């Protein structure tokens, strides 16, 4: 396993992070794995609790992360080069978005707490509060719009 530089999120830009550091930045909230609805007229994006078919509601993680594109080719690979284009739909607490906007991470972030469970204990994750997309007709997704847990 590659070592992470101490408090790298405060000293290293997103562009200069190692792959391991970039991946460690994800807090495991799972909010980016929820389907969203975009208003065609206003461009406003609504978060739903309808989870991607690969999302594991118990671990709050992708069940097939390394090979996910075999099953979900549209899953976005976030990188510095496409951050600007994706900011509009990203959750407000997302660590990538926070750093991109020059903001600090929250104290519940696992990198700061040292505990991957603190994101769930803080109530900002989607753990145990989703419905799988294969159980809900797409026409009914709007019945499952939620406020972003923050």
Is residue 94 near ligand SF4 by the rule CB under 6 A? yes
101 to each of 69, 79, 91, 97, 143, how far by Cα in Å? 28, 14, 13, 6, 31
Closest to 35 (Cα-Cα) out of 56, 51, 55: 51
Q: Cβ 13 to ligand SF4, closest distance in Å?
A: 17
- Per CB under 6 A, does 129 bind ligand SF4? no
Could you tell me if 14 and 102 are in contact, meaning their C-beta atoms sit under 8 angstroms apart? no
If binding means CB under 6 A, how many residues of this protein chain bind ligand SF4? Answer: 20
Identity of the residue, 54 or 122, whose beta carbon is nearer to ligand SF4 in the bound complex: 54
Contact 55, 62 (CB under 8 A): yes
Q: Which stretch binds ligand SF4 (CB under 6 A): 6-14, 16-24, 54-62, 127-135?
A: 54-62
Q: Which of 9, 21, 29, 120 is the binder for ligand SF4 (CB under 6 A)?
A: 29
């Amino acid at each position: 396993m590659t070592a992470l530089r101490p408090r790298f999120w405060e000293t290293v830009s997103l562009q200069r992070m190692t792959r391991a550091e970039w991946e460690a930045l994800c807090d495991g909230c799972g909010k980016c794995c929820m389907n969203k609805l975009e208003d065609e007229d206003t461009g406003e994006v609504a978060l739903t609790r309808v989870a991607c078919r690969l999302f594991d509601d118990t671990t709050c993680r992708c069940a097939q992360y390394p090979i996910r594109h075999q099953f979900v080719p549209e899953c976005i690979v976030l990188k510095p080069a496409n951050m600007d284009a994706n900011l509009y739909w990203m959750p407000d607490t997302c660590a990538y978005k926070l750093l991109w906007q020059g903001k600090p991470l929250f104290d519940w972030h696992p990198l700061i707490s040292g505990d991957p469970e603190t994101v769930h204990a803080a109530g900002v994750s989607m753990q145990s509060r989703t419905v799988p997309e294969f159980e809900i007709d797409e026409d009914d997704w709007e019945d499952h719009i939620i406020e972003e847990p923050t």
